[in-house]
Amino acid sequence: MTRHGRKVRAVALTGALIGSLLIHFDAAQAALPPPPAGWTQVWADDFTGGVNTLPNENNWIIDTGHSYPGGPANWGTGEIQNYTRNTSNLAHDGAGNLRITPLRDGAGNWTSARIETRRTDFKAPANGVLRIEGRIQMPNVTGQAALGYWPAFWALGAPYRGNYWNWPSIGEYDVMENVNGINAVWGVLHCGVSPGGPCNETTGLGASRACPGASCQSAFHTYRFEWDRSISPNQLRWYVDGQQFHQVSQNQMDAGTWNNMTSHAGYFILLNVAMGGAFPNALAGGATPTDATVPGRPMLVDYVAVYTRGAGPPPTPPPTCGPLISRNRPVTASSIESPNQAAAFAVDGNTGTRWSSAHNEPNWLQIDLGSTVQITRVRLNWEVAYGRAYTIQLSTNGSTWTNAFSQSAGTGGIEDLNVSGTARYVRMNGISRATPYGFSLWEMDVFGACP
């Protein structure tokens, strides 16, 4: 959402209903609908877990604290809450919904919850369409009692994970966001550079409208985002209950900006309820939340689903069942920038240390697994100095190499790669740098065969 956007924004609410409609609907469970005709479901969570249980952690990462490690403070938005994994903030309700509940303690400290999908590869197939959809009831609170509430359903470009400083170039799709209990849904695109740029950062390219029928707060509504590569120029579209309210076309910006947010591995999805921050403060005309803000009003999520349609196949994630086999193994490199960036730091499990090569190319980092084993996956956690082009090479003897993976348009961050083969030695062979610096990895992880 503009969640990462460090923004002050006040989007006009043309036709929006300020306050809540005097209509109440039960927060009833609705089963995950079957894929629409012509669409393929590639991922979903129906949130059918037992009452007061956490969401499935095979699907979701639970964020905690006030920032990512090494990332912008207050999640880059000025929000004030502490995210936790406590079931008082984050839990299934036992009726088919996920409940995200902001709470305030006796000292005035706020807590809430934020989760993001483990998968980062949700992307429109070539000549096809991606659809991200969720059925959600916003926190049922309005007026002064709602000041500071900031629920959101959104997606970030994969290179953001592990980097945290490349926003907004990697792209952000705000499928649904809302502040202060206003009966409106905002859909926003963030891209390019900040401030300014083709996406008018830190505001973004956005639109809003009132929820159809019952208010956003009093009932469930279905929020949908589509990335359409089947037409030219490509389009991004936003919907609520099947009614389109926002669109951004490829020809609204330069090719480089569009490519930066669409040519990487894909997107991951986030759900959260923030408290306070630039967006709610801007619309409230002052700091939020206030003493009048009422805690304990949850956002309810019935389901989240991802679909694709078109020529390309659904994304295939790398297997996640194989054990990590590279930790603290012998490692060598073609060069190092300094003794403080030695090769061993790329396999020590510490993301505060790193290997960095000389400021040239080619350069490589090579891990000796000790014996010939089956390999299923390689994960690269790049520092800011990442590889634009590289190969992952395998060898049984350290002298004869086979290319098992090739990358020509790397975007940094964490790259989780399908690498299959049998080898003792695994090498990242850097061909082209993305920055004036060398190739630099916080960690290079190699995973073995699934049990």
Q: Are 391 and 403 in contact (CB under 8 A)?
A: yes
pTM: 0.67
The C-alpha torsion from 115 through 155 and 408 to 390, rounded to 10°, is -20
Position with higher pLDDT, 109 vs 315: 109
Angstrom distance (rounded) from CA 430 to CA 345 = 17
Residue located via tokens 């305030």: 104
The C-alpha torsion from 20 through 270 and 202 to 244, rounded to 10°, is -60
Per-residue DSSP letter, 294:
P
**Residue 218 pLDDT more than 50?**
yes
Token pair of 235, please?
């389009």
**Residue 7 pLDDT more than 80?**
no
Fold type of domain 40-309: Jelly Rolls (2.60.120)
Q: Are 233 and 255 in contact (CB under 8 A)?
A: no
**pLDDT digit string, tens, across residues 401-432:** 999 998 877 777 788 898 999 999 999 999 99
CATH code for the part of the protein at 331-448: 2.60.120.260
Q: Are 62 and 270 in contact (CB under 8 A)?
A: no
Angstrom distance (rounded) from CA 115 to CA 297 = 18
Angstrom distance (rounded) from CA 29 to CA 176 = 20
Q: Judging by beta carbons within 10 Å of its beta carbon (0-12, 13-18, 19+), is residue 73 exposed, middle or buried?
A: exposed
How is 424-443 classified by DSSP, letter by letter? Answer: EEEEEEEEEESSSS--EEEE
Per-residue DSSP letter, 50:
P
339 phi, psi to nearest 5 deg: -60, -25
**pLDDT digit string, tens, across residues 351-409:** 889 999 999 999 999 999 999 999 999 999 998 888 989 999 999 999 999 999 988 77
Average pLDDT of 96-116? 98
User: CA angle, corner 161, sides to 443 and 129, nearest 5?
Assistant: 130
Angstrom distance (rounded) from CA 145 to CA 129 = 40
**Residue 83 pLDDT more than 90?**
yes
The C-alpha torsion from 387 through 388 and 394 to 397, rounded to 10°, is -60
**pLDDT digit string, tens, across residues 30-47:** 689 999 889 999 999 999
Query: Residue 133: which residues within 8 A CB-CB, separation 6 or more?
Result: 222, 223, 224, 225, 304, 305, 306, 307
The C-alpha torsion from 148 through 149 and 154 to 157, rounded to 10°, is 30
**Residue 21 pLDDT more than 80?**
no
Return the SS3 of 256.
Answer: helix
Tell me the CA end-to-end span of the chain in Å, nearest whole number.
Answer: 39
Average pLDDT of 317-329? 85
Same topology for domains 40-309 and 331-448, yes or no? yes
**pLDDT digit string, tens, across residues 257-280:** 999 999 999 999 999 999 999 999
Of 346, 340, 368, nearest to 440 (Cα)? 346
Q: What are the residue boundaries of the structural domains of the chain, listed by start?
A: 40-309, 331-448
